[in-house]
Amino acid sequence: MDIKLSPIKSITTAHVTLSGSKSETNRLLVLQALFPHITITNTSNSDDSTVMQNALNDTDAVINVHHAGTAMRFLTAYSAIQQNKTVVLTGSSRMQQRPIGVLVKALRSLGVTITYLGTEGYPPLQITGKKIKASAVSIAANVSSQYITALLLIAPKLKNGLQLTLSGEITSLPYINMTLALLNQVGIEAKMQGNTISVQPIGVNPKPVNIVVESDWSSASYFYAIVALAPLGSTVSLSSFKEGSLQGDAALATIYNNFGVTTHFHNNTTITLTKSSTSIPSTINLTLNNTPDIAQTIATTCFGLGVGCNLTGLHTLKIKETDRLQALKTELQKLGAIVTITNNSFSMQPHSLFSDNKNANKVVSIATYNDHRMAMAFAPLALKTPIIIEDAAVVSKSFLDFWEAIQKLGFAATKL
Ligand SMILES: O=C(O)C1=C[C@@H](OP(=O)(O)O)[C@@H](O)[C@H](O)C1
Ligand SMILES: C=C(OP(=O)(O)O)C(=O)O
């Protein structure tokens, strides 16, 4: 199903309640499966969290995680400690192109038997779980933080805990910090000093604990983009968000100041986004290695505003749901953008396309490459030009009711 978004000039003031963070949820689901003293509230209703929940309940010999990267990586570690059970973990054809060798290498060095059933270094994997006796391992930290989180989640279940030594430049660091913070919240001692992380085994009779998952800041990014492209004074409120988030993407509040959007926090439940300034730089430079999931939103926001950008720290984008750097370039070029990409960066020239009105009424069809964030990042551009989003249901990977949510703000969506 494709969706056509007719152009709109302004948005309706509205309140949107977003589902829980999929990153927090998927960590907590694994922790809960290992440590039943944990209960969770406001879990994510995303496909990726449903996949995770189902996989943890599944007793089948083959588990298919579809497109869910966190499920693939976290379940690899989880399966490694299910003693004497053999399982095959597989995923979509894209998942079979997303590397997992760094994590497999670390688990093998801890004594686990893992076999590649297809290409060496990629899913599908056959894993035979065992009681891990070792308590120290080194791992490369420059490819995906999810490998590190995967090991940290099983670490408190090991007899002597785990000491993890990270090598190389650490990517997506806030996601590692999120894991450590959640471990602490459920009563597990875990800390990072320099490039060493140590996690203690869980104590006897841990106290029952309920964790309330904060809503998803990556999902909030699309509302930041909408407000940035809307007229001065436009406002949207979102819940449930708080100051001092565990999610690195909360950096949106600072980043979108550059685009004239201010964020007000109310009672640690609601944020209000307001377009409060139209004074915006002609070019913006940002390093996004801590916040890879909002790179697409920032790139399309810049395009909608005519702002140039130099976005760096993007080396992980090539191995996500699609090659996001290439996908962004191809689709923004359809709208007339002048873009240059490298292996780790994205640059776009400033332009006055929409204000000159040259392309303003041409309906451009945006391909989404099985990537939820391609669909959601381009949708806000309906404030500037009519646009078709192909395969629009792809959004459910992280944001099940995205299309309903933006219609509340006045977006005019027609199913094609
Ligand atoms: O741990 C997590 O929940 C995630 C970590 C990040 O991946 P990388 O560490 O591979 O960049 C992020 O892009 C992904 O959406 C979720
Ligand atoms: C990269 C993402 O997810 P994952 O790696 O968990 O598939 C994402 O949600 O943008």
Q: Atom 12 in ligand 1: which residue has the minimum CA distance? A: 293
Residues 178 and 254 in one domain: no
H or E element in which residue 27 lies: helix 22-34
Pocket of ligand 1, beta carbon within 6 A = 23, 70, 144-146, 149, 171-172, 175, 292-293, 316
| Structural domain that includes position 373 | 3-19+214-415
Pocket of ligand 2, beta carbon within 6 A = 68-70, 293, 320-321, 373, 398
Residues 69 and 113 in one domain: yes
Residues 146 and 236 in one domain: no
Q: Atom 3 in ligand 1: which residue has the minimum CA distance? A: 23
ipTM for this model:
0.99
Q: Give the residue from 186, 212, 238 where a domain finishes.
A: 212
Residues 317 and 231 in one domain: yes
Residues 108 and 248 in one domain: no
Q: Give the residue from 212, 230, 255 where a domain finishes.
A: 212
Here the tokens at position 76 are 């690899």
Give distance in angstroms: CA of 283 to centre of ligand 1.
27
Q: Residue range 317-340: average pLDDT? A: 97
Residue 122's nearest CA partner among 95, 92, 160 is 95
Among residues 293, 323, 371, 391, the one annotated as catalytic is 293
Q: What is the pLDDT of residues 164-209, one digit of tens each?
A: 999 999 999 999 999 999 999 999 999 999 999 999 999 999 999 9
Would you state the pLDDT for residue 353? 62
Residues 242 and 370 in one domain: yes
Residues 182 and 68 in one domain: yes
Q: Residue range 45-67: average pLDDT? A: 97
- b/e per residue, 111-133, with b = 16+ CB within 10 A? ebebeeeeeeebbbbbbbbbebe
- pTM exceeding 0.90: yes
Residues 239 and 197 in one domain: no
Please check whether residue 18 is in contact with residue 141, taking contact to mean a CB–CB distance below 8 angstroms. Answer: no
Would you state the pLDDT for residue 37? 96
Here the tokens at position 320 are 């996500």
Please check whether residue 235 is in contact with residue 11, taking contact to mean a CB–CB distance below 8 angstroms. Answer: no
Q: Is the pLDDT of residue 351 over 90?
A: no
Q: What is the pLDDT of residues 303-312, one digit of tens each?
A: 999 999 999 9
Residues 355 and 324 in one domain: yes
Q: Is the pLDDT of residue 357 over 60?
A: no
Give distance in angstroms: CA of 41 to centre of ligand 1.
22
Ligand in closest contact with the CA of 394: 2
Number of domains in the chain: 2
| Strands 209-212 and 190-193, bridge-based pairing | unpaired
Q: Residue range 249-267: average pLDDT? A: 98
Residues 84 and 208 in one domain: yes
Choosing from 74, 76, 175 the residue with most ligand 1 atoms within 8 A of its CB, the one to mutate for a pocket test is 175
Q: Give the residue from 212, 229, 262 where a domain finishes.
A: 212
Confidence of residue 352 (pLDDT cuts 50, 70, 90): confident
Average model confidence (pLDDT) across the chain: 96
Ligand in closest contact with the CA of 153: 1
Q: Is the pLDDT of residue 30 over 60?
A: yes
The answer to whether 293 is a known catalytic residue is: yes
- Residue 159, burial from CB neighbour count under 10 angstroms (0-12, 13-18, 19+): exposed
Cα separation, 298 vs 316, in Å, equals 16
Residues 118 and 153 in one domain: yes
Q: What is the pLDDT of residues 207-252, one digit of tens each?
A: 999 999 999 999 999 999 999 999 999 999 999 999 999 999 999 9
Would you state the pLDDT for residue 197? 98
Would you state the pLDDT for residue 319? 98
Residues 86 and 125 in one domain: yes
Give distance in angstroms: CA of 385 to centre of ligand 1.
31
List the CATH number of the domain containing 388. 3.65.10.10
Ligand in closest contact with the CA of 321: 2
Taking the CA of residue 147 as reference, the ligand 1 atom at the shortest distance is 9
Residue 383's nearest CA partner among 8, 31, 61 is 8
Q: Residue range 41-48: average pLDDT? A: 98
Would you state the pLDDT for residue 362? 85
Would you state the pLDDT for residue 182? 98
Residue 152's nearest CA partner among 179, 189, 192, 133 is 179
Q: Is the pLDDT of residue 356 over 80?
A: no
